[in-house]
């Protein structure tokens, strides 16, 4: 991702900024598309992971669909040029205004999370003389074995409809003329690196799809969500997720009958590895117990370490990595004790002005930036 040319270019720039390696992004998208095409799978990019305009338009140029979670994302997807027939809209709390935006855009499908939401969509669609296509998001009660803050498919999570409520869904569908039932939707969590989880998901999807078929409801769409994880520990070695292995789990375990489509909603695995947060050391504080590197980027630019104790590789781009190392707590400038990227990071001796990169920051990085402390909006830098 980095070479001496890039680093000397960085040295001229104001920090902090997100650096996007668009060549690596394209390589990742190509790998995903090739693997998905092998089985005729439909992949929607989960826009929530990164809605940087350049990133999103690169993804759109590969002809992926879009998975949106707000009216704003639906509008951005349309604006970027995503085919409306490839846009899905998920989210546990869609407002009337957002539903209307999606109805006006004639999107492919709403992923619906409650019976009440089905009734509201029916009513709003009727007012426009339209029919809304829907998939029912089911909470499959499958453990994703990931960080508890990013698990979504357990009964204690707010997402989806629990299986014991499915009779009510079937009854409602029979009474709602402006709803067209397309199928079922699942998403069990994010940063899933154990592929067994997806195998378990397939078993649940097979069972539940059969349940609907037994009730006389034909399933056209099996949407299994996203969640494929990436390697945060070796950003240079495993810099493209193993899409081949991922899709093969579904090819081997998901029961698909003639006429059914399989849809995915991938976010992180498409964008995480193609970006780094680049920052400068403002100050070095050497204490008796601790040494601190105080950066000009903090939780306002990348929140993941503070919110989920997420691991990101940290390196000093200005110093050769050979030679003796010192342990630093790498912290930001924000007035919060939690504003720490990582403790006890072994780095070459570092000085004011050194460039520091925080790797694998392309997913849930720039999008989760905030203006807390009235910080400037973070800029982006690209390489082709
Ligand atoms: N579909 C649905 C319904 C989702 O809720 C999500 C992510 C995705 C697809 C995409 O999942 P992915 O392929 O990116 O794992 N901010 C957290 C991650 C939150 C994920 C939210 N939902 C983080 O930084 O780890």
Within this chain, do residues 239 and 377 fall inside the same structural domain, yes or no? no
What's the CATH code of the domain at 324?
2.40.37.10
pLDDT score at 150: 61
Within this chain, do residues 230 and 364 fall inside the same structural domain, yes or no? no
CA dihedral of residues 266, 219, 95, 365 (deg, nearest 10): -10
**What's the predicted TM-score (pTM) here?**
0.96
Main-chain dihedrals φ then ψ at residue 197, nearest 5 degrees: -60, -40
Which pair of tokens denotes residue 125?
């669609």
DSSP state of 152: -
Structural domain ending residue among the three candidates 217, 250, 272: 272
pLDDT digits (tens, 9 = 90+) for 272-331: 999 999 999 999 999 888 999 999 999 999 999 999 999 999 999 999 777 889 999 999
Within this chain, do residues 279 and 153 fall inside the same structural domain, yes or no? no
Within this chain, do residues 9 and 89 fall inside the same structural domain, yes or no? no
The whole-angstrom separation of Cα 134 and Cα 86 is: 13
DSSP state of 252: H
Distances (CA, A) of 81 to 45, 141, 245: 13, 35, 30
Structural domain ending residue among the three candidates 272, 291, 324: 272
DSSP state of 366: G
Within this chain, do residues 260 and 305 fall inside the same structural domain, yes or no? no
150 CA from centroid of ligand 1 (Å): 7
Domains identified in the chain, total number: 2
Bond before 363 cis per omega within 30 degrees: no
Query: What is the domain range of residue 316?
Result: 4-16+273-383
pLDDT digits (tens, 9 = 90+) for 144-181: 776 666 666 666 677 889 998 999 999 999 999 999 99
> Does ligand 1 come within 6 angstroms of the Cβ of 229?
no
Q: What is the mean pLDDT of residues 347-357?
A: 97
188 CA from centroid of ligand 1 (Å): 9
Backbone dihedral region for residue 331 (phi beyond 0: left; psi -120 to 50: alpha; all else: beta):
beta
Within this chain, do residues 152 and 226 fall inside the same structural domain, yes or no? yes
* Nearest-atom index, ligand 1, CA of 49: 14
Within this chain, do residues 168 and 97 fall inside the same structural domain, yes or no? yes
> Does ligand 1 come within 6 angstroms of the Cβ of 189?
no
Q: What is the ipTM of this complex?
A: 0.99
Asked whether 220 and 181 are in contact (CB, 8 A), the reply is no
Specify whether 68 is catalytic.
no
Within this chain, do residues 285 and 227 fall inside the same structural domain, yes or no? no
DSSP state of 371: -
Distances (CA, A) of 274 to 24, 110, 135, 150, 174: 6, 30, 32, 21, 46
What's the CATH code of the domain at 100?
3.20.20.10
Q: Residue of the nearest CA to atom 23 in ligand 1?
A: 364
Within this chain, do residues 12 and 76 fall inside the same structural domain, yes or no? no
Structural domain ending residue among the three candidates 234, 255, 272: 272
């Amino acid at each position: 991702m980095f070479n001496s040319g890039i680093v000397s270019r960085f040295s001229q720039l104001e920090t902090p900024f997100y650096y996007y390696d668009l060549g690596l992004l394209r390589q990742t998208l190509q790998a995903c598309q090739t693997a998905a095409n092998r089985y005729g799978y439909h992949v929607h990019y989960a826009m929530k992971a990164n809605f940087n305009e350049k990133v999103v338009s690169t993804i759109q140029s590969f002809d992926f669909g879009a998975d949106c979670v707000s009216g704003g994302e639906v509008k951005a997807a349309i604006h970027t040029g995503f085919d409306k027939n490839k846009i899905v809209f998920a989210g546990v709390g869609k407002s009337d205004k957002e539903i209307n935006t999606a109805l006006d855009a004639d999107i492919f499908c709403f992923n619906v999370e409650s019976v009440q939401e089905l009734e509201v969509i029916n009513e709003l669609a009727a007012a426009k003389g339209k029919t809304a296509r829907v998939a029912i998001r089911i909470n499959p009660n499958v453990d994703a074995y990931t960080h508890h803050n990013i698990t979504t498919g357990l009964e204690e999570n707010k997402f989806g409809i629990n299986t014991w409520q499915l009779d009510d869904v079937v009854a409602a569908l029979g009474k709602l003329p402006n709803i067209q039932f397309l199928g079922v939707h699942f998403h069990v969590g994010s940063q899933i690196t154990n592929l067994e989880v997806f195998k378990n998901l397939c078993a649940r999807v097979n069972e539940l799809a059969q349940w609907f078929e037994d009730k006389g409801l034909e399933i056209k769409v099996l949407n299994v969500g996203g969640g494929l994880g990436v390697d945060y520990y070796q950003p240079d070695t495993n810099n493209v997720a193993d899409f081949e292995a991922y899709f093969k789990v579904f090819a081997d375990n998901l029961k698909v009958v003639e006429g059914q489509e399989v849809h995915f909603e991938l976010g992180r695995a498409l964008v995480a590895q193609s970006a780094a947060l680049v920052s400068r050391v403002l100050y070095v504080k050497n204490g008796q117990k601790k040494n601190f590197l105080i950066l000009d980027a903090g939780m306002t630019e990348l929140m993941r370490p503070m919110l989920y104790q997420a691991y990101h590789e940290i390196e000093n781009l200005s110093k050769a990595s050979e030679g003796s190392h010192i342990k630093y707590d790498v912290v930001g400038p924000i007035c919060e004790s939690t504003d720490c990227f990582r403790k006890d990071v072994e780095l070459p001796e570092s000085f004011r002005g050194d460039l520091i990169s925080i790797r694998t920051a392309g997913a849930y990085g720039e999008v989760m930036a905030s203006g807390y402390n009235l910080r400037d909006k973070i800029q982006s830098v690209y390489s082709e």
